[in-house]
Every structure is written in structure tokens, then in C-alpha cells.
A and B are shown apart, each in its own frame.
Chain A
């Protein structure tokens, strides 16, 4: 009888071991080199100056900021700051820094480094595109080595969301003197440090004293090195993955059709996540007849967003309004509840007839760097024709697109806008009359007021109500057409484990990835 109990116990222990082994898969194996294929050249590695997406893919692993965006939940988490408090008036933020975080040269990350970083971003001589995000900062004070106080000029709800990502990455005091040329040399506190740089290939090696550990207490990162290789042609990039010459490609290079083709290849794993970025039809709101609200509403009613999602994105895209559908805590309204979102050609035709005599001739300029933009423009042309729009597609190169976009020289354009986890960062600069990227020349007092309230209100429940009103206002007044939030894809060799694709396309999960060998 006693023997029997022991066997049962043993069997139980074995089953338990087997089950934990089963849920965790293979135990992380340290070592190895993870090779990532990207399509865009890596131009600049200065975290506060870089603008190219490819630069940030590398910088995700090299620099860290005070907070971190959990790649899966998209929630804010402690990072170099262990904890923080916000004063009741929303003007003073106090951060407790983590002890034991070090830069790649071995020196401790402390409060003076945080002050130096924010001052560097705000210094006009740095020419940082990040400066406008930190404009509300009045002063940064190093209270003691591990306490930083940041005071703001006015309450600024998205402030904590801004303190994430490599663009606001913490650099050591006298960074520029220490690295000589920050465009091609780095000094951060992230899981990897730069070993070799050229515009077509970058090699990072592990930061041996990186602070973060996995659930089992093992020091991260697992892999010895991460290499980024630039392969400009997407077909070659995918061939390289199939031939086993790269382990991972994310986003650009794996569109929906490529993802479908790769998902049937043995040895390759395809992941997807809903994007925060959205496709849009930009509208020049000051140009006749688009300055007439009825014409803009007619355009919105004539477009069948669900059909675009089906035709262009093979159904792997969500129809949604001004708030990304993934950000459920901000209560994005479903399309059926947004004005002018349900296609209605008869109503659209009626509005066009009221507003204009004859057909409305418009030119649409698709952005050349996003292949889907041209397809969207083609579908758009067909969809809106019955309502009385004669749309002509005008293809230009990227520099031309940018110049015309900047100076609002367009009727319509089709492009992709990067998204954000905070509705203020997602909408303000595009839609507020003083917004830095309001190339649409949209001006509306009610919308401005709601955007300003959303920015200065810290109470989350009240902010949710403000943005709910704003969603309806935007759909009603049509500054431009929000179309789809498409899925983003990643394809990897099955040997690569632990990489979970994020909506932000972040490479940060590579710190917790390893290769089965």
C-alpha cells in the first residue's frame, strides 16, 4: 500500500515536470547569433536624431528609456525607472531609478544622465525630432543619484507614454564627447551594444551586465549577438529567410500575400498582430470643392472601407475610426456607430449634387513607399465614381510626395499614419488646427477644444468620455478618411524561439529570443 502511494506521488511529480516542460517548450538556450533581415538602409543610430524606421529597429535593443511599453499588452511598465509618482496638479513627476542598470561602458545609469538626456533632446542644436514631444517639460532635476523630478509647464496627459522607446532613450552625461560620432557609435543601457556599423549591415553583441532577468532569474539577453542585414528587394529578403540566411523578418517585406505564401513553407513560422498604424485618404480641406463639408462627407459615404480591407489586405485589416481597435481601454467606436462610415452611394450622390455642379474632379497621390497605397487609390477611384467623383491617380516619387505633403499641395493622398497607444499622440498633431502634421489644413473649434481637453485631463475615465465625443466629431467633420488598421506580419525560422510580434513592430522582444541548436 505504501509503495503504491509513492508510485502515485512519483507519477504526479513526473506529470508535473512534463506539463511545465510542455507549456514552456524547450528551455531557452543561451548563445548563438540571431540574424534579422530588413529592407531599408540603416542611416543614423543617434537615438534622439534618427527618423528612419530601420534605425529604431536597431536602437530598440541598444537604448532604453525610463518606461517601457509591454510589447504584448501595450501597457506601460517600469524600466529604468522602477516606480514613479505624479503630483495631484499633474505638473510634477518623480521617478525612482533602478539600481544596477549600467551603460555599455560599465557606468551606472543615474539621475544626472536622465537630466542630460532630456536637456539634449530639447537643445535646438541637437535638431531632435523628439523635441516637440517633450516641449511641455519645464525642468528636470536630479534630486539624488536615483531620484529624478520632472516639472511640466502645464498638465500633459500623454507624458508617461512619451517616456518609452529608444527615441527618448537615456544616454550618459557628456554622451557626445564620449562617443565622438553618435550617428555611427552608440552608448546605451539596452540588452545589446553596437559592435560593427555600416549602412547595409549592423552587428550588435550582448551587454553582459544588462539588468533584466527572465522569469527563472536568468540574465537576459540569451543570444550572443544580433545582426541586421539590409536586403532592399522584398523577394530576395524572403528567399534569404527560406534559405536559412536570416532568422527573422518583421513588417516591411512580409505583406499579407507574402505571409500567406510563407505560412505554408515548412520550417517557417508566421505571426500577425493588429497594427496601430492606419491607412488614410488625406484631404486638403482648404481647396474647393473639398472645403465644402458636404463633399467630404460624400467622399466618406462613397468609400466602402470593408471592401478595401477585403481587396487590398485580403481581409486582414479592421475597419475603424480615429481610435485603433486594439486600444480597448479607450473605447473605440465600432464603424456602425460612426457618422458617414456606413457606405451610402445614394446619399453621397445627393450631397455632391447639392454642393457642386457636374462631376467633382480630384487628383489622388499614393505614397510610393507603401505598396498598398496605390491599390487603395485604384479601388477608391472605382468606388467613388458612381457618387460623382472623377479621381485621377498621380504617381510621384517619395521626395516629391514629401515636398507636396509638407506644403499641402494635393487634393487627396493615400498614405499610412503611424499610430500610438495614447489617443492624444495618435490624433492631436494631425487634426488640431495648430498640429505639426496637420497638412490637411483642417480647422474646427469644437475638435480643437476636445483635443485640448483630452491633453490636459489626467483622469482616465474623463479622458475616455472626451475621446468618445471626439471620435463622433471627427467622423462628422471628415478632416481626412480613416480607412483600415491592417495586420502586421513577421516571419521567422522555427529555430528562433521567444520572439513575439508586437503591434508596434518592436525588436525589443529579441532580448528574450533564442535559437534552438
Chain B
């Protein structure tokens, strides 16, 4: 187990290195000059442009820029944002809590909605229940989140005035208000993922339902609730946990649209702005962070398998 863990953690720097190299080259392949963006649309003084390029090392060849950046990262320096001149560590420290909380919140909601719904649809034999759950799955997966978010705002914030739109107090300052105000964005993020989880749970429940040991369990005289919980769900959950792992990774890096619609100053918006402004060092830092989180989440999922299914062992 420990050897396995060490081996997996070893892969992390390799993954990070290749991802950063790909992002670095792609960013430099697309046109656009961060120095010009910094100086603005109408400032065209070539002396000032040259000065800014030199200041940020943008006048060096791209491989050299990459090497310099890599050297700094190895020393633990993230550098400063080209766009704002602020330390990147500080920019990320401000944005990360929002994204982490939103991702976790959405994950909890997705699981809380997706698993009961999937179990219900997978065990109930009535056609109308199955149809209803299928309809939710289809709508949840196909409605774009920018649309769902805007509709939720119009209904619950503008018309009913249940939720504030813009004030997101920090979790430490006012936990209840924080959870309340982030409910709509978290729900928007959770809906497509809840749908995906529900579909997966329903399918694996149906697969497990016809297994021999389920019939045995019923024959033992167990109540159907106990059969579902102890025998069906636990076995059906292994593929679901894989999906939840993927969902978690997606939520950490994929909340760009929701952060934009709900005006949440999180990591997704920071990354998007960094791309738009060609803020190379900031984007690299965001990508590294998201990649690290993604790899670690996947590792955590692999470890959860052991808890769920004693047959799985890592030597």
C-alpha cells in the first residue's frame, strides 16, 4: 500500500512537468502580446513596449522563458502577475477558497441528489418513476449551466428575492449566510453532475439486482430496505465512486462558467482572465494548481476503492 502510494505520488511531478510544458507552448503559439495588452489599446510607444517586454522577460526565446519559469517554480517562487503586478501566490490565495468551497458544496449536493435518485430509479419497478428520473437525467445533462444559472437568478433572486446575488461573505465570517448565498451557484454546478451520478447508480443497481446473492438475501428474510442498503448499494457503488472522482476533478477546474455568471471571484475566473490577458505566469500557476488537485483527487478515489471493496488490494 505504502509503495503504491509513493509510486503514485512520484508520478505527480512528471504529470505537472508535461502539462506545464504543453500549456506554456500553446499559450505562446496563439497570437497576442501581453506587453501590448498591459499598455492598452492605444498606447503604441515602441520604447515603452520594449521596456515592458524586458521587465517581464518576454523578449527572451520561449524555451529560455520556460527554463527560467521552471527554475523559479522549483525554488517555490510563483512570481508576479503581468496584468496586475501582484504576487501570484496572493492572487491564488484569494481565489482558491471560493473555488474549493464551491466545488465541495456542489459535490455534496450532486451526491445527495444523484445517489438517492439513482437508487430509487434502479429499485422501483414502476414505469413512471423511471421515466421521471430519466427525464431529470436528460435535462440535467443537456441544459447548459449558463442558462440554468441565469434562470435560477431570475426566479429566486430577482422575482422571489430569496437569495442575494453578489454578496458572498467568507465562510469563517458568517457560515450560514455563506452557505445560503452560495446555494444557487453550487446547485447550478451540481445539476449536470447529479444527473450523471443518478444515471450511473441506476444502471449499476439494475445490474446488481439480478445477481444470485440478492435473491439469497431476500430468501434470508431481509427487508428490502436492508437488501438495498447492505447488499445492492455497496456493490453498485464502485463504478459510482470512479465517476464521483472524475466529477470532483471537473468541479475544481470546470467552474469557469458558473463563476462568471454568479460573479464569484474564484480560480476559474482568474484562469479565464489570465488567458484573455495572456498573463502567462498567472495561467501557469492556475493550471499547475488545478492539475495537482486533479491528480490528488484521483489518488484519493483509488484509495476509497479499498474501503468499499475488500477484494481490491494494492501491493
Contact = CB atoms under 8 A, between A and B. Distances in A.
Interface stretch (A23-31, A375-383, A398-406, A456-464): A398-406
Contacts of A242: 158
A183 B167 CA distance: 25
A239 B149 CA distance: 12
Contacts of A131: 45
B84 A399 contact: no
A198 B273 CA distance: 15
B15 interface: no
A-side interface size class: 35 or more
B202 interface: no
B154 A200 contact: no
B45 A404 contact: no
B276 interface: yes
B161 A129 contact: no
B32 A436 contact: no
Given A399-B276, A399-B277, A399-B278, A129 B165 contact: no
A129 B48 CA distance: 9
B158 A404 contact: no
Interface string A394-416: 00111110111010000000000
Contact of B158 (A51, A232, A239, A437): A239
A403 B83 CA distance: 16
Contacts of B166: 229, 231, 240, 245-246
A176 to B, nearest CB: 14
B234 interface: no
A469 interface: no
Contacts of A233: 146, 150, 260-261, 263
A436 B45 contact: yes
Contact residues of B: prevailing secondary structure: loop
B307 to A, nearest CB: 40
A132 interface: yes
A43 interface: yes
A237 to B, nearest CB: 8
A183 B278 CA distance: 19
Nearest to B157: A243
B187 to A, nearest CB: 15
A402 B36 contact: yes
B263 A231 contact: yes
B309 interface: no
A251 to B, nearest CB: 16
Interface residues of B, number: 44
B1 interface: no
Contact of B31 (A231, A232, A246, A400): A400
B94 interface: yes
Interface string B33-55: 10011111111110110011000
Given A44-B84, A240-B166, A399-B278, A406 B263 contact: no
Contacts of B277: 399
Which of B44, B260, B276 has the most CB atoms of chain A within a 10 A radius of its CB? B44
Which of A199, A229, A235, A398 has the most CB atoms of chain B within a 10 A radius of its CB? A199
A43 B83 contact: yes
A233 B150 CA distance: 10
A131 B31 CA distance: 27
A232 B44 contact: no
Given A127-B51, A429-B42, A236 B150 contact: yes
Given A183-B84, A198-B265, A199-B265, A397 B276 contact: yes
A41 B42 CA distance: 19
A398 B36 CA distance: 11
B164 interface: yes
Given A240-B166, A243-B157, A404-B31, A437 B42 contact: yes
A200 B153 contact: no
A437 B41 CA distance: 9
Contacts of B161: 243
B32 to A, nearest CB: 3
Nearest to A417: B42
Contacts of B164: 243, 245
Given A229-B263, A397-B276, A129 B269 contact: no
Contacts of A124: 47-48, 51
Interface string A61-97: 0000000000000000000000000000000000000
Interface in A34-77: 41, 43-44, 51-52
B74 interface: no
Contacts of A398: 276
B261 A236 contact: yes
A230 interface: yes
B262 interface: yes
B30 interface: yes
Contacts of B94: 198
A397 B32 CA distance: 9
A239 B150 CA distance: 9
B85 interface: yes
Nearest to B34: A399
Given A131-B45, A239-B153, A245-B166, A402 B37 contact: yes
Contact of B41 (A43, A51, A199): A51
A403 B31 contact: yes
Given A129-B39, A233-B260, A402-B36, A436 B165 contact: no
Given A129-B42, A240-B166, A397-B276, A183 B157 contact: no
B150 A235 contact: yes
A399 B37 contact: yes
Contacts of B165: 231, 236, 239-240, 243, 245
A295 to B, nearest CB: 27
Interface in A224-277: 229-233, 235-236, 239-240, 242-243, 245-246
Interface of B: 30-33, 36-45, 47-48, 51-52, 83-86, 94, 146, 150, 153-154, 157-158, 161, 164-167, 260-263, 265, 269, 273, 276-278
28 contacts: A44-B85, A51-B39, A52-B40, A124-B48, A127-B39, A129-B43, A184-B86, A200-B265, A229-B166, A230-B265, A232-B260, A239-B150, A240-B165, A240-B166, A245-B165, A398-B276, A399-B37, A399-B276, A399-B277, A399-B278, A400-B30, A402-B36, A402-B41, A404-B31, A406-B36, A429-B42, A436-B43, A437-B42
Q: Which 5 A-B pairs have the closest CB atoms?
A: A51-B40, A399-B32, A129-B43, A200-B265, A231-B263
Given A231-B166, A436-B44, 20 more contacts: A43-B83, A43-B84, A129-B39, A199-B84, A231-B165, A233-B261, A236-B261, A239-B150, A239-B165, A240-B166, A243-B157, A398-B276, A399-B33, A403-B32, A404-B31, A406-B44, A429-B42, A436-B42, A436-B45, A437-B42
